[in-house]
Structure 1
Amino acid sequence: MTAPAKATSGGGLVRRLGFGRASLRRIGALGRAELVLLLRNRTAATTALLLPLATVGLFSTFLSGDGHVSTGALLATGMFGFVLLYVVYYNLVTTYVARREERVLKRLRTGVVTDGEILVGTAVPALVLALAQVVLTVVAATVFFDLPVPVNLPLLLVAVLAGGAVFVLLAAASSGFTRTVETAQITTMPVLILSMIGSGFTGSVDSLPDGVARLFQMLPLTPVLELVRLGWVGTTGAEAPRDFVGVLAEAGRPALIILLWLAVGVSATRRWFRWDTRR
């Protein structure tokens, strides 16, 4: 006998967020199914795997070092940003929309799987691919760019995990405004463009007016890359590199901004994420 369908209002989105052993099994099963679907979809797989590399390669032709951060460090840490934007954010917007329009999300909610498990399970393949690309980036940058091992590896890992969580939530919220997979190219554009500009990867923001520069510092990707650079090379470029303990003093402000974006992401997802088709 099928369990009654859960209410489709956004308020029930995070009714139960505790992930026990059974919950992890269900998330793993959903994640494996989504990974198979991702690998079968050539367009989605190409976007997730090759587009970040191609974009970084394009910008590498005119990037120059920023203060104490070398060009190699900018390329390597910028890769983290493009992984979060393309592998996690853009890829997940299209995935959530596709599953919603195929009524997969609605069917899943009629069973024992909770809302949180559905969202996390659907995001697992993107997060696994993102983590794999991050590891490969660290190894490649150490070998080819002669970058040192991370100054503060725990801080680097926290930045990547927190950034992944932020962009999963933003993807879930953005999917509510996206009617079809095709229109995701339009609805995701503001986040993609503003994040690239605001993080300084497309060019230095120092020449911009102070008010605009401060606004860019509040965008979701900027504090993530600041923590990544602090954890890897010990500086964001303005100050001399610091040691394991020294970077923690500089990590407070970007960490606080990330926490604010996590809160915004949860609220936006609860408000705008849609479980039923928009057709």
Structure 2
Amino acid sequence: MSGGTSVAKKNDDVVIGPTGRPYNGFATPAKLERHGPARIIALCNQKGGVGKTTTSINLAASLAEYGRKVLAVDFDPQGALSAGLGINTHDMTTIYDLMLDTKRDAHDAIVHTHVEGLDVMPANIDLSAAEVHLVNEVAREMILARVLSKVVKEYDVILIDCQPSLGLLTVNALTAAHGVLIPLECEFFALRGVALLIETIEKVQDRLNPTLELDGLLATMYDPRTLHSREVLERIVDTFGEKVFETVIGRTVKFPDASVSGVPIIEYAPQHPAAQAYLRLARELVDRGAVA
């Protein structure tokens, strides 16, 4: 299957993208003269397998490609983001250690990747015990925010790869974040849980983090050859309008191949349409003002 997205010409000069809107290329962002403080973006969806980790890895690498200093926070006990960037999390300081001891130096858990400008706070299976250990803590929803406050001035963007649930870890991520990006698979059942996720975001806005914004929904695993995929994308756009990113991520086997190699797709297959799509998403985020 192809990682690209189909576009159709309308008249002679306007290109219509898969979301039904004019297909803009978005200008390459200018280099930043200084770095920080970071805008924190949580990538959330309680449904698994929708492309959260794939998006976290490749968006982070794409933003770094454009000169942004990026910290990717692996906030899923499965540790897929860490593994996808070739990080062995055995016997190393992780985000879990920082949450248990917020006085610990957050830099202890920062790993510099081979991608220039991209650092990672890794996670492993230990993080699965966090909800049990933190349930009786005072201001337990604010713990990740306290951890990230120690490094926020050093980066331009911090991306939090959330686990597929709406539990305490995800609430921590939403409380720490300035914005939310929702990867959404172009498949009918993926639509069913979005209302519950939006409700959770609104509760966090109301009770914990009034400045939290929905940055947008990213359609993933799109296959323009199937009627079902096209209909689901149309329904997403009908429901959420301009909140749906113009960039659409196609379905391709290149993503798992890149993950096995421990590198982002823009490094594994830089000319592949999927790699170009994530670079375009990075430009769109800058164009929308979600990233400096």
Q: TM-score, normalised by structure 2?
A: 0.26
Q: TM-score, normalised by structure 1?
A: 0.27
Q: Name the structure with the higher helix share.
A: 1
Larger radius of gyration: 1
